[in-house]
Each structure stands twice: as C-alpha cells, then as structure tokens.
Amino acid sequence: MNIHEYQSKQILKSYGVVVPNGKAAFSAEEAVAAAQELGSAVCVVKAQIHAGGRGKAGGVKIAKSVDEVKGYASELLGKTLITHQTGPEGKTVNRLLIEEGCDIKKEYYLSFVIDRATSMVVMMGSEEGGMDIEKVAAEMPEKIIKEYIDPLIGLAPFQSKRMAFKMNFDAAVIGQVSKLMTGLYTAFVAKDCSLAEINPLVVTKDDKVMALDAKLNFDDSALYRHPDIAELRDESEEDAKELAAAREGLNYVNLGGDVACMVNGAGLAMATVDIIKHYGGEPANFLDVGGSSTVENIAKAFRIMLEAARLRGFLSISLVASTNATSLPAVSSKRLRSSALRFRLSFASKARM
C-alpha cells in the first residue's frame, strides 16, 4: 500500500525525522490559508499523486507570494500529471502539499528496503540525490552504498555513522544524519514498511539535515496491525479493478494488455503471462484465484477481467493434481467467430492403480 508524501512526512516526523513545515490542501482557498499560516517568504506547491517524477512533469511549483500560491494551486488541482511512473494515462491531482521553502546546499539519497536474498533490511545511500536512483544505479553503480542490518540487533550507531561518512556528509552534520537514519529505520520496522525512501535528503546552507521528499510503502499483509495506516489509503489513486479484486480476496494486477488470464497459483500465473508474451500477445492482467476458489469467486473474477477496455481474448490455465499420479498434459483451444480468442489449457493428473 502506498500513501502520499505529506502523509509519509507526518509519520516520519513522529519518529524524529526532520521535515519542512507543510500542510495538505484540497482547494485553492485551503492552499492560500496554508501558505498564510506557514508565513514563509517562499512556498513550494507540490502535487500529491502516487508516482515519482512530479517535478519534471510540472507538478512542483515555487511560489514567492500568496497570489502565486493561489495561481499554482488552481493550475494543479484537477490537472492530469503524466510521469515515467504513471503511464500515458497519467494521474489526476486531487490534493496538494503546501510547504515552506528551504535553502539547499547539497542533496542526497537514502532508503531502507528488504533484501530477500539475505533476509535483511538494507540501508542504501548515495550522494547523488535528487535524481532517479535507477539512473544512478545504471550509470554510476559505485555511487550507491549499502549497509546490511542484522534483524536481531537493528541499525547500530556505528553503521549509520559509517554510512554518513561514506556518503561524504560534512563532519559538522554527521550527528544529525545518524539520528535521521535511526528515525527512518525505526519507522520502517515499526510500521511494517516494504520501502522507506527520502529523495532528496538535504543539507541546508545553515547546516540543517531534513527530508525534503519522502515515500513510504507498506506490506499489505501487515495492515491488520496498523489500522491507522490503512485509514490513509487513497483509493482514487489505485486501479478500480485491483481494489474490487482485493475485496474479493483475489490477487489481481492490471497490466493493460488485450489478453486476460486467470490461473490458480501465482507461479503458474507468471508462467501464463510469459506464454501470452511469447506468442505475441499482451497480457491484460495477472490474476491468481488461489487453490481454494469457489464458483462465486470465479464468476467475480470473470466480471473484473471483462471490464478491461482493450480485451480481445481470454486464457485460463488450471492445475489439478491427485495423489499417486503422473502428469498427463491435455491441451485444447477454441477460436471464437467474433475474432476474439479464447484459450483453455488444462493439465490434469489421473491416478494409476
């Protein structure tokens, strides 16, 4: 589950991470009131959508007066922002963050993620902040520094200080950086995050260290432990079909193609998507109905899949196994006269006495 930047900053602030003062706004009038309350000579008007690259798409504006805040707010609210993460359809801006400006001296990158290969949380940092970390990884991999954290010990003080020195922070701010890293790690663990990212992490000209932007993603399976986090969900930012599927206990991901698929088992579902791609199709979705699906669940899954606008065909693969059996693959297909293709592949196992 994702939340907005201003919500992430509110959470991180409660864990001691320094963030600029700011307020959310849902109208131009609220934006003006927020700017007046902040009383800053420079305000930043930031579109709030679940996607990166907002600045390049025109979703971040610098305002030097209340009138400019009102103008930028009116311009952004209701606008569709298209970034490298939204796809060509973009996302509509329904809320803003009005934030006080700051005088930046240097930008950095900092995040915590789970490294499944080592079963550890890894802290990643770079002095190349303020840009896409994927680009840094591709073009300057040596600029990304990693620190693996033992889950039984947690983030040790020497690790945060070592990371700060490797990221080339000035000695005068090492203490602040170490404290911020500890706060970010504590939030990551306490809230069952799958990602905690600050980009950019900045040092201001008066040597203050703060999170200028923040992103928190949460493990959906752990949301039952965090009702306060679940309440922050913005369903307008999520795919309607994915939300409907989640309510029915179905694992559905919209992929935007023209061949829908329904499978019982996540691994088999990924293989099915590969089959569609291999034969020149574009998968419309990933849908795992699970091993204990019912007639009602299957019917609901069909309804969700058929809502896809570009749908031309359907592929279903089911795997049925019985004990003391050897696999006997049987494949059948049917071409519909309407030019849409329907495929059904069944791999059945029959018991041998």
Q: Is 109 a catalytic residue?
A: yes
Give the span between the Cα atoms of 173 and 164, in whole angstroms: 9
- Bridge partner list, 343: 315, 333
What are φ and ψ of residue 235, in 5° steps? -70, -20
Which of the following is catalytic: 72, 109, 185, 252?
109
327 near 301, Cβ under 8 Å?
A: no
Which of the following is catalytic: 99, 107, 128, 197?
197
Give the span between the Cα atoms of 35 and 22, in whole angstroms: 9
- Residue 27 is given by DSSP the state S
Give the span between the Cα atoms of 111 and 198, in whole angstroms: 6
What are φ and ψ of residue 118, in 5° steps? -105, -5
Give the span between the Cα atoms of 198 and 213, in whole angstroms: 6
In single-letter form, the type of residue at position 195 comes to: L
Q: Is 100 a catalytic residue?
A: no
Tokens at residue 310, please?
A: 């570009």
22 near 99, Cβ under 8 Å?
A: yes
Residue 109: other Cβ atoms inside 10 A: 24
Give the span between the Cα atoms of 288 and 283, in whole angstroms: 14
The C-alpha R_g of the chain, in whole angstroms, comes to: 24
Give the span between the Cα atoms of 183 and 195, in whole angstroms: 14
Residues forming the active site: 109, 197
